[in-house]
Amino acid sequence: TQLLEQSPQFLSIQEGENLTVYCNSSSVFSSLQWYRQEPGEGPVLLVTVVTGGEVKKLKRLTFQFGDARKDSSLHITAAQPGDTGLYLCAGGDTDKLIFGTGTRLQVFP
CB 100 within 8 A of CB 37: no
Site for another protein in 30-59 (CB under 8 A): 30-31, 33, 40-45, 48, 50
Stretch that binds another protein, among 10-18, 20-28, 71-79, 97-105 (CB under 8 A): 97-105
Candidate residues 21, 61, 85, 100; the one interacting with another protein per rule CB under 8 A: 100
- Measured from the CB of residue 44, what is the shortest distance to another protein in angstroms? 7
Q: Give the nearer residue to another protein in terms of CB position, either 66 or 102.
A: 102
The count of chain residues that interact with another protein, using the rule CB under 8 A, is 24
CB of 21 closer than 8 Å to CB of 87: yes
88, HSE (Cβ side, Cα atoms, 13 Å): 18
Given the DSSP bridges, would you call strands 103-108 and 10-14 parallel, antiparallel or unpaired? parallel
- Distance from the Cα of residue 85 to its chain's centroid: 11
| Peptide bond between residue 8 and the one before it cis (omega within 30 degrees of 0) | yes
Does 93 interact with another protein (rule: CB under 8 A)? yes
For another protein, the closer CB: 40 or 109: 40
